[in-house]
Structure 1
Amino acid sequence: MEWARPFNLHLADGRIWHGAQFPTGEVCVAHLGEPSGGFTVGLSLDAVLGDRVPGHPLKGARVQWADEES
């Protein structure tokens, strides 16, 4: 059985959002505590992070997988 793989997204402004990638490739990113709150979901991590306009919180975000060293 495969499990979701957790990760942190380090945003360019220093905030950290938490997410998980599911075995099928889909991802869910929580941005709770933000004024808008909620989640971002996508068919892949590339789809969530790609083609963001300047100023968008996910523009330039760095992925840190839970099983990798900081």
Structure 2
Amino acid sequence: MFSLAQTIGVSGMAKRELVPFMIAFVIAEMFYKLGSFALECLEFLATWYLLSYAFDGLFRRGRGRG
């Protein structure tokens, strides 16, 4: 996380990750009820990673057309 903030800056990181983070947070809050903080945290991080990957792919594809 620190390396990413140093590379693209805090504002750039917020622009890239805020939407996937918020969606992953809502999904985790609504659906991940395992009774174990560690497992729920891992599921949240995996969801955030997958959403970030998907948004990055959509962003690149959309930017390539213009």
Q: TM-score when scaled to structure 1?
A: 0.23
**Structure showing greater Rg:** 2
Q: Counting strand residues as a fraction of each chain, which structure ranks higher?
A: 1
Q: Counting helix residues as a fraction of each chain, which structure ranks higher?
A: 2
